[in-house]
Amino acid sequence: MTPRAPLVVVSGPSGVGKSTVVAEALRQDPSIWLSVSATTRLPRPGEVEGENYFFVTDARFDELIASGGLLEWAPFAGHRYGTPREPVEARRDAGQPVLLEIEVQGARQVRTAVPGALLVFLEPPSWETLTARLVGRGTESDEAVQRRLAAAREELAAAEEFDVVLVNADVGECARSLLAWVADPTGIQRGRVPGPTDGAQTPDARPPDE
């Protein structure tokens, strides 16, 4: 029996640039499959059903949970998000590496549910970069931005639970690191991978003390 293809989880706070890094990795290697999540939030302008997400009702999400249809799921900023189990297993069984782009609580569940999965935490170069991205992307209401910033504070503290922490200072570099790990998740050197502009400094993405 051929072993299942790798499962790599990319996590980190909202606004850190997970989707940009993942999109760049897929552009460089289209043979990888990115899982499409189910969510109860409404589509943003331009988002496409079945491509960005499966946009579902609360009742449908309840059904998915009850039937064991989700590999992991979590509430986030007032909505629920989850990874459909079956397509992830089917792709891996067929030999195709799978990427998940999910928040931290879901990543923890994958750690338990899929022992061989590789967990990558994407960290911003600084707290200021993260807040600027979250506020600047202009896709959320003020209230939603505040909820995401509050979640980001908690999520940043989870970095050390991950197999590897990747500082998102350069999208291309991060994508290349990710692809190397997808190709060989066992060859990874665990710990923190600083971004190219960090030099000798230790990046400090923690929010300032209150």
The contact set with ligand 5GP (CB under 6 A) reads 14, 18, 37, 41, 72-74, 76, 81-83, 101-103, 105-106
Q: Is 66 helix (H, G, I), strand (E, B) or coil?
A: helix
Burial of 94 (C-beta count, 10 Å sphere; 0-12/13-18/19+):
exposed
Q: Which is nearer to ligand 5GP, 10 or 182 (CB)?
A: 10
Q: Which is nearer to ligand 5GP, 4 or 108 (CB)?
A: 108
Taking the complex as a whole, the smallest distance from the CB of residue 102 to ligand 5GP amounts, in Å, to 4
Q: DSSP state, 165?
A: E
Residue 65: Cβ within 10 Å count? 14
| Least distance (Å) between residue 160 CB and ligand 5GP | 18
Q: Which one, 23 or 198, has the nearer CB to ligand 5GP?
A: 23
CB of 201 to ligand 5GP, least distance (A): 26
Nearer to ligand 5GP by Cβ, of 135 and 198: the residue is: 135
Nearest residue to ligand 5GP by CB is 106
Tell me how far CA of residue 5 lies from CA of 98, 112, 182, in angstroms: 7, 18, 9
Q: Give least dist CB 117 to ligand 5GP, A.
A: 13
Q: Is 207 helix (H, G, I), strand (E, B) or coil?
A: coil
Min dist. Cβ of residue 64 to ligand 5GP (A): 11
Distance from C-alpha of 145 to C-alpha of 135, rounded to nearest angstrom: 6
Residue 103 or 163: which CB sits closer to ligand 5GP?
A: 103
Q: How many Cα atoms occupy the beta-carbon half-sphere of 184 within 13 Å? A: 4
